[in-house]
Amino acid sequence: MKKSTIITFSLFLVSQSAIHAQKPNILLIVSDDLNTRIGPYMGIDDHTPFLNRLASEGVRFERAYCQYPVCGPSRASFMSGLYPETNGVLRNNDQPGSYKKETPELANHPSMAGFFRERGYFTARVSKIFHMGVPGGIERGEPGGDEPDSWDYAYNVMANETLGPGKLELLSPKNLHFGSNFSRMIIPDGMEETQADYMATTQAIAILENRAGRLPEGGTNRQRIKKDAPFFLAVGFVRPHVPFIAPENCFAHYPEDEVMLPPVRTGENVPELALRRQNEKVFGMNELQKRQTISGYMASVRFMDQQVGRLLDALDRLQLRNETIIIFLSDHGYNLGEHDCWSKVSLWEGSVRTPLIISVPGYESNYGTSCNTITELIDLYPTLTELCGFGGQEPEILQGKSLVGYLRGDLDEDTNAYAYTITYHGRDGTIRTNRWRYTRWGEEALPHNEELYDHDNDPEEFVNLADNPAYEAVLNEMRSRYEKARQKARNGIK
């Protein structure tokens, strides 16, 4: 090779390294059906110690909300940066790519991962990021409703789930559907590697080791550059989604006889449609089974947290932590007996509020803090594009807002922010503002199909104020804000 060629090639590599030094890696961790019953949000240390560790190295968003409290629509929403009514994914069986075929304006719209892939990132998916059958698909290693153009590499876990060691116990006599009933399975300590989340973490660590490894001698320039590329690694954990599976050491922390059930207070003016997920209507659990359900859920959360710890340890060991943005979130919340409602789908605070923790190297002065501004999961897309130096290049149709100012700590709380969430294919919805939650069951505002809660005085949403004349002005204002939010979602690409 001529000297001039060597110099030119060396300058090329220096230029690439400089660019990549400004483009941090991204590790996106998505839990399944996780509410905010985790250490950073409960103020306790001995429950999810690794999520506590991550929160101490980032910003905790106290009031983050999903756009649909069901796995498939929620994931397609935050991965596209669009409301479900905009992207058309309103059911678990709707394919994320289908909206591109049916809506010409979205034909070339990249997912959040696809955006970074188009800009030179190495993108990889491990396990469930878009919707996947858990159970009912993951045992066969199926990809689920993936969007293949998003990834350079995708790994589908083929997990034993309930086919492995341990005894499966049904906890919901009225619900036998394998993907939505309550059941638990305690596996022996030492058998963790048989489970989907452990397997997913092992593969994710292998990818991290691959990206951190030294370049081999020789090879083409293209191979060398790809190896040097920053990564966008999305890791999907399926717990605490049912069935609740965890090792003995996790269950030991949550004895069923010590579990306390939440108080149940439901006013007579709460619409019947809001109460569809009540125990006797869907699950038929007795008191012991309710406590076993909560115990199993919390044990599954602890097991998932252990996998987060393995990922964090790997980043430290491989010296990748200081150049990697970490995002932890759930696809939606989960009710565990509040209002006597269980699972997801509902529009209570517990079903639509999600954990969201973001850690950005270089923003250490704001580590360990929290943000109280109302945020939506669709805010992730524009947040990451700005953090990685692509501000202004993101698709114009994105409907979220960047959270970078809150991560830096130079933005005050936005008291005018709101979160809009729908359920049951978009017919029903709710809007959460700084103080109020307004929910409507149906297209039009009618007697007995609305809810209004004052979160300053009633954070548990016990007292529906919708038919209280003293709050008529507030109700009308919230109706107006709800209509504006709904029109934004439904006309988002017009």
**Percent of the chain, pLDDT > 70?**
92
Q: Is residue 44 part of a domain?
A: yes
Mean pLDDT over residues 373-393, rounded? 97
What range does the domain containing 235 cover?
23-409
Q: Is residue 199 part of a domain?
A: yes
CA distance 344 to 292: 18
Q: Is residue 170 part of a domain?
A: yes
On the question of pLDDT at 368 being above 90, the answer is yes
Q: Is residue 262 part of a domain?
A: yes
pLDDT for the residue 212: 87
Query: Cα–Cα–Cα angle for 300, 303, 304, nearest 5°?
Result: 90
Q: How many domains does the chain have?
A: 1
**Among residues 61, 53, 94, 58, which one has the least CA distance to residue 76?**
94
Q: Is residue 7 part of a domain?
A: no
The 10s digit of each residue's pLDDT in 52-84 is 999 999 999 999 999 999 999 999 999 999 999
Backbone φ, ψ for residue 402 (5° rounding): -70, 140
CA distance 437 to 414: 16
Q: Is residue 433 part of a domain?
A: no
pLDDT for the residue 16: 36
CA distance 199 to 188: 16
The 10s digit of each residue's pLDDT in 288-343 is 999 999 999 999 999 999 999 999 999 999 999 999 999 999 999 999 999 999 99
On the question of pLDDT at 14 being above 90, the answer is no
Least confident piece of the model among 108-117, 155-164, 187-196, 409-418: 155-164
Cβ atoms 124, 151 nearer than 8 A: yes
On the question of pLDDT at 21 being above 50, the answer is no
Q: Is residue 449 part of a domain?
A: no
User: What CATH number is given to the structural domain containing 249?
Assistant: 3.40.720.10
Q: Is residue 4 part of a domain?
A: no
